[in-house]
Amino acid sequence: MGYNATIRYITIELTPIQQTTVCDYLRSTGFSVNKGYMTGGSFNSNNERREAWYVYADMDDLKYGIETGDLVAVFDSFGYSASCPSGSSTITDLSYHGDTGDSGWLFHAIAQAVPELTGFIEWAGEDGDLFRWSFKAGEVEESTPRIVWGDE
């Protein structure tokens, strides 16, 4: 069982060159055929591996996306919908609602492949929790907001 979450807001953008770089990185690390990546754990807020959840990726579609350099297909294999503005091939938006399973490893790999990537993905969890994955210097950090009520 995974954790059900919805992407609320995204500020990262992936150019066509960066998309190719990510797919090359994923191919060179061999994770599409390495079950250790698929079942070897997710990441906690300290960027440390922990026990795995289930991965909700379509493995055939994932391999196809990596082999053809199609990052949109890679996202699609996990149930993410990547979109580009009209007339552009730059990914500027991701939509997702469902069980995240262990797909966090994909975003860590993207950060490692494109260390100049900055921005964040903001999530709303099934229990009302809000959290953000921030990209900076080849790392993904998870953070949560501090809510302050007006009468405090």
Residue 148 CA, distance from chain mean position: 29
Domain count, the chain: 1
For residue 150, tell me if it sits in a domain. Answer: no
Domain that holds residue 19: 4-143
- 148 in any annotated domain: no
Do the domain assignments include residue 82?
yes
What confidence tens digit (pLDDT) does each residue in 23-43 have? 999 999 886 655 454 544 455
Question: pLDDT at position 77, please?
Answer: 87
d(CA 50, CA 3): 15
Can you give the pLDDT at residue 56? 66
Q: Read off the pLDDT of residues 71-107 as tens digits, 9 standing for 90 and up.
A: 999 998 888 999 999 999 999 999 987 665 567 788 9
> How high is the pLDDT of residue 106?
87
Mean pLDDT, rounded, of the chain? 83
